[in-house]
């Protein structure tokens, strides 16, 4: 059987599949050529991340397909229900990249509160001539310890983010429309564990209480955060979106920063990927990364292994 890893797969996953007798094709086929390639090569399994879309046209036109696999959590680039209605298995790896995303959230958070994203740009340019001025400019940082982290969306990634926040010494408040509470377990290097029961509260209460908001909800018909929500937040709060482009109203975000409602923001995802708005890219109060939340070696290894295990279980 043939597996097309159109957006790539870690060596651990490819090796596991090949050892089980599958042929793994590590090619990236353009979206408009995908149907022809799948049919000409009689592909049984297509593996994607966020770049490749598997919509109704592919599902209808490619009878050889048996499995659609998504390396990661969200499956908004796949017509999941339609695929399942037509007898295809649709699989993903919801837990594999959770901690990687959580660490990126805090990489942004630590950078934001100490202005590292801006300092790292200006020190090479002016560090030798305006050292004292830069020191004064960046000497108003704050600590995360003791602050309140608000998590909107308390699934696996939201809970992983909460764990890091608790480890830093933050208070965590959370909203999730599908759960009333969650048990968050912190595991330490020496085998000790500490459990925290976190009861979810309303979205409005999270916005009012939090010093920093981290978003972990899928894209929806309407923005999760727009002008109304920015008005509810603490003056000078920070916000991070490592979920999906379109969760935050980016125009409203820029306005909230300009008006001083929001002190800083971090974006790993954008409404217009792969060409984000220039007003976001040039804003000194926004920390930026190019959609790399789950892009760590460890996460990719876990994703590859989990996908391989599921495929082998289904097809052998």
Instruction: Give me the catalytic one of 244, 250, 302, 306.
Output: 244
Identical fold, 2-93+297-315 and 98-288: yes
List Cα–Cα distances, 251 to 95, 112, 150, 209, 222, in angstroms. 32, 20, 22, 24, 14
Question: What's 32's DSSP letter?
Answer: G
**262 and 239 in contact (C-beta within 8 Å)?**
yes
Alpha helices (H) in 211-296, listed in sequence order: 227-232, 250-258, 278-281
Average pLDDT, integer, range 184-188? 96
What pLDDT shows up at residue 73?
A: 81
CB atoms < 10 A from the CB of 220, how many? 10
Average pLDDT, the chain: 96
β pairing state of 171-175 and 148-152: parallel
Q: Is 313 a catalytic residue?
A: no
Quick: pLDDT tens for 132-182.
999 999 999 999 999 999 999 999 999 999 999 999 999 999 999 999 999
Q: Is 259 a catalytic residue?
A: no
Q: Is 302 a catalytic residue?
A: no
User: What distance in Å separates the CA atoms of residue 127 and residue 311, rounded to the nearest whole number?
Assistant: 53
Does 3.40.50.720 match the CATH number of domain 98-288? Answer: yes
Does 3.40.50.720 match the CATH number of domain 2-93+297-315? Answer: yes
Closest to 59 measured CA to CA, from 38, 29, 33: 38
Instruction: Give me the catalytic one of 103, 114, 205, 273.
Output: 273
For 10, list phi and psi in degrees, rounded to 5: -60, 155
Please state the domain extents for the chain: 2-93+297-315, 98-288
What pLDDT shows up at residue 195?
A: 97
User: What distance in Å separates the CA atoms of residue 45 and residue 64, rounded to the nearest whole number?
Assistant: 8
Quick: pLDDT tens for 93-144.
988 999 999 999 999 999 999 999 999 999 999 999 999 999 999 999 999 9
Within 13 Å of residue 17, how many CA atoms lie on the same side as its CB? 30
Instruction: Give me the catalytic one of 70, 99, 216, 291.
Output: 291
- Burial of 258 per CB tally in 10 Å (0-12, 13-18, 19+): exposed
CB within 8 A of 130, min separation 6: which ones? none
Answer yes or no: pTM beyond 0.85: yes
For 94, list phi and psi in degrees, rounded to 5: -65, -25
Q: Give percent above pLDDT 90 in the chain.
A: 95
Quick: pLDDT tens for 26-77.
999 999 999 999 999 999 999 999 889 999 999 999 999 999 999 988 888 9
């Amino acid at each position: 059987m043939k597996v097309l890893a159109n957006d790539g797969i870690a060596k651990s996953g490819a090796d596991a599949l090949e050892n089980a007798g599958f042929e793994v094709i590590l090619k990236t086929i353009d979206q408009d050529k995908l149907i022809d390639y799948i049919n000409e090569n009689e592909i049984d399994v297509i593996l994607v991340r966020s770049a490749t879309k598997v919509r109704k046209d592919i599902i209808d036109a490619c009878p050889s397909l048996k499995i659609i696999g998504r390396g990661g959590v969200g499956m908004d680039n796949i017509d999941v229900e339609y695929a399942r209605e037509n007898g295809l298995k649709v699989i993903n790896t919801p837990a594999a990249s959770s901690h990687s995303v959580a660490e990126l959230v805090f990489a942004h958070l630590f950078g934001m509160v100490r202005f590292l994203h801006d300092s790292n740009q200006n020190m090479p340019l002016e560090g030798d001539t305006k050292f004292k001025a830069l020191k004064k400019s960046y000497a108003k940082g704050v600590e995360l310890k003791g602050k309140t982290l608000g998590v909107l969306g308390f699934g696996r990634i939201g809970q992983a983010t909460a764990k890091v926040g608790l480890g830093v010494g933050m208070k965590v408040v959370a909203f999730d429309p599908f759960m009333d509470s969650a048990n968050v377990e912190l595991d330490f290097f020496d085998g000790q564990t500490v459990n925290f029961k976190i009861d979810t509260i309303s979205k409005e209460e999270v916005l009012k209480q939090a010093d920093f908001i981290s978003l972990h909800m899928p894209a929806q018909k309407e923005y999760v955060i727009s002008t109304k929500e920015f008005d509810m937040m603490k003056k000078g709060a920070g916000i991070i979106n490592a979920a999906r482009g379109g969760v935050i109203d980016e125009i409203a975000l820029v306005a909230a920063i300009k008006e001083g409602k929001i002190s800083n923001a971090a974006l790993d995802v954008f409404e217009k990927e792969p060409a984000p708005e220039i007003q976001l890219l040039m804003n000194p109060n926004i920390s930026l990364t190019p959609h790399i939340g789950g892009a760590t070696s460890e996460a990719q290894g876990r994703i590859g292994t989990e996908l391989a295990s599921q495929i082998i279980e289904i097809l052998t």
